[in-house]
Amino acid sequence: MGRRPCCAKEGLNRGIWTAGEDKILIDYIQAHGEGKWRDLPQRAGLKRCGKSCRLRWLNYLRPGIKRGNISMDEEELIIRLHNLLGNRWSLIAGRLPGRTDNEIKNHWNTNLSKKVQDQTHQNPVKLSNESEPQSEMLKEESPPRLETHPVIRTKAIRCTRVILPPPLLDQVASKATSVHNSNSETSSYSSSRQSNLSSDFLANFNIDDLLMSDQAQNLDSCFPPEGEKVDCYPSNFTLPMHDDAGCIRSEGLERWREDDEPFRTNGDFDFNSLASFLDSDDRFDLDE
């Protein structure tokens, strides 16, 4: 017994969309709006799966989509964000106006993964391609804000996660678990940490729960002394949360909240703040 398919496959068109199909879809969505994807093909008169319609619209037909010619600036940002977020393409796409998760994923798989792999082999702690002059330039100048295209956001617009380097995750997990058990019904620690060591820098903590807990201060003991750098994959980077200390403390979390940094305690994840954050002096120092 398999899962029920999203739609009947018989009699449906597959493969590349024709200009006529695109027009029908655009006209229908302009008239009736997005949503109800399962019923949309029938109502619009398309011989396509609803999922296929949704994908076509979100990735290619939607207004504001940029196609092709991913710039060096964008590549640099993708690499940095991938370093932080792993294969969370929708989150990465959310930071690149006009780009879709599918395009970024394809570009990564065909270009950037190899590039990064090569650079990692050449120098394990350097993620930027320093042989290219434009990357040199980026070190001194902030990446331009790309405001002329809307950010393509699909589902991944909420984030209740805290970025932690892998060596600290396990330590924090045990602390956080006790916080969770005694305090919150919503906090949780992602078990994916065990299965995806390289990319999972994110622990599923609800920051408010941690801050409100009497035990939050116990988290301090997980982290290295102030000013001590964290040595971890893929490079040494300094955690940004507490002055120049390179360590996370509960008061650091508190300050982060007050400063309205990217991970807001109301659960919303602000990518513009993240971009500013990446550009700022407090960012993870990926180039060291």
Give min distance, CB of 46 to DNA, in A: 11
Q: Alpha helices, DSSP H only, in the chain?
A: 19-32, 40-44, 50-56, 72-85, 89-94, 101-107, 113-122, 133-140, 166-183, 192-195, 207-212, 250-258, 271-279
Give min distance, CB of 231 to DNA, in A: 26
Residue identified by tokens 């019923």 is 39
Q: Which of 42, 64, 71, 106 binds DNA (CB under 7 A)?
A: 106
Q: Which of 111, 142, 178, 217 binds DNA (CB under 7 A)?
A: 111
Lay out the site mask for DNA across 46-85 (x = CB under 7 A, - = otherwise).
--xxxxx-xxx-xxx------xx-----------------
**127-166: contacts with DNA (CB under 7 A):** 153-156
CA 280, 70, 65 angle in degrees (round to 5)?
A: 100
Give min distance, CB of 42 to DNA, in A: 12
Q: Which of 1, 11, 14, 148 binds DNA (CB under 7 A)?
A: 14
Q: Which of 3, 31, 63, 131 binds DNA (CB under 7 A)?
A: 3
Are 202 and 164 in contact by the 8 Å Cβ rule? The answer is yes
Are 92 and 85 in contact by the 8 Å Cβ rule? The answer is yes
Give min distance, CB of 15 to DNA, in A: 5
Question: How does DSSP assign 158-186, residue by residue?
Answer: B---EE--HHHHHHHHHHHHHHHHHH-SS
Rounded to a whole number of angstroms, the distance between the first and last alpha carbons of the chain is 53
Give min distance, CB of 114 to DNA, in A: 7
Q: Which stretch binds DNA (CB under 7 A): 13-21, 124-132, 167-175, 177-185?
A: 13-21
Give the binding site for DNA (CB under 7 A). Answer: 3-6, 9, 13-17, 35-39, 48-52, 54-56, 58-60, 67-68, 87-91, 101-103, 105-107, 109-111, 153-156
